[in-house]
Amino acid sequence: MDEDKRQRILLTAMQLFNKNGFHATPTSQIAKESKVSVGTLFNYFPSKEVLIREIYTEIKIHSKESFLDHIKDCYTLKENLENMWSAIIMWGLENPDEFNYLELFIHSPFMNSFLNDKVMGMYTKFRTLILKSISPSTICIDYPEFSMMFIDNAIHATTRFMLQNEIDDIKHFISSSFDLLWNGFSYKNSLFN
């Protein structure tokens, strides 16, 4: 198979899905705008659902590679977490089309059938570090998956806000948004200690 053609189909489909949504984007339109026949599209992706999931997988792989480029080793738990937080948000700011697709995908029924260890495992280090910092008085100790959902929503909200608004000092905004999260989760920063 021609990798350039495959990538062209993925990119075109992502842009159309972002613009029109999954159900309002027919495969015939994707094929036409990708400059391939519908048959060729289905040779690469046997169904629209496979195409939708493949775009998601490609974005997750690309985002992981980008995070690794942005992340540097730090000495403290807080520095490590803030570094990861910043890397994730910067990836979203640098790749708004991919970020918007992730937003579309995670709020669709396709996400429910795609939660798996392969994709979610990419964030194991972040999850492990955040769980080490959680105050034992929070519900996140009993429900660690809630903590990850909460953090994921906070990251998406921060990135979405920054994409939709003009921010004068991006680094300061990202750092301040991390402080909001850290102060809510961290045992050391608890008001009751």
Q: How far is CA 46 from CA 75, 111, 132, in A?
A: 47, 19, 43
Confidence at residue 77, expressed as pLDDT on a 0 to 100 scale: 74
Domains and CATH numbers, the chain: 1-46 (1.10.10.60), 59-185 (1.10.357.10)
**Entry pTM:** 0.79
Total residues belonging to the chain: 193
Give residue-wise pLDDT tens across range 156-165: 999 999 999 9
Tokens of residue 135, six digits? 């105050």
Per-residue pLDDT band for 191 (boundaries 50, 70, 90) equals very low
pLDDT of residue 129: 66
116-158 pLDDT per residue, tens: 544 455 556 666 666 666 655 667 667 777 777 788 888 999 9
> Is the separation of the CB atoms in 155 and 178 below 8 Å?
no
- Give pLDDT tens digits for 34-76: 999 999 999 999 999 999 999 999 998 888 777 766 666 767 7
Angle at which helices 124-133 and 144-164 pack, to 10 degrees?
110
Residue 52 CB coordination number (10 Å): 21
Percent of the chain with pLDDT over 90: 50
**CA 95/CA 146 separation, integer angstroms:** 27
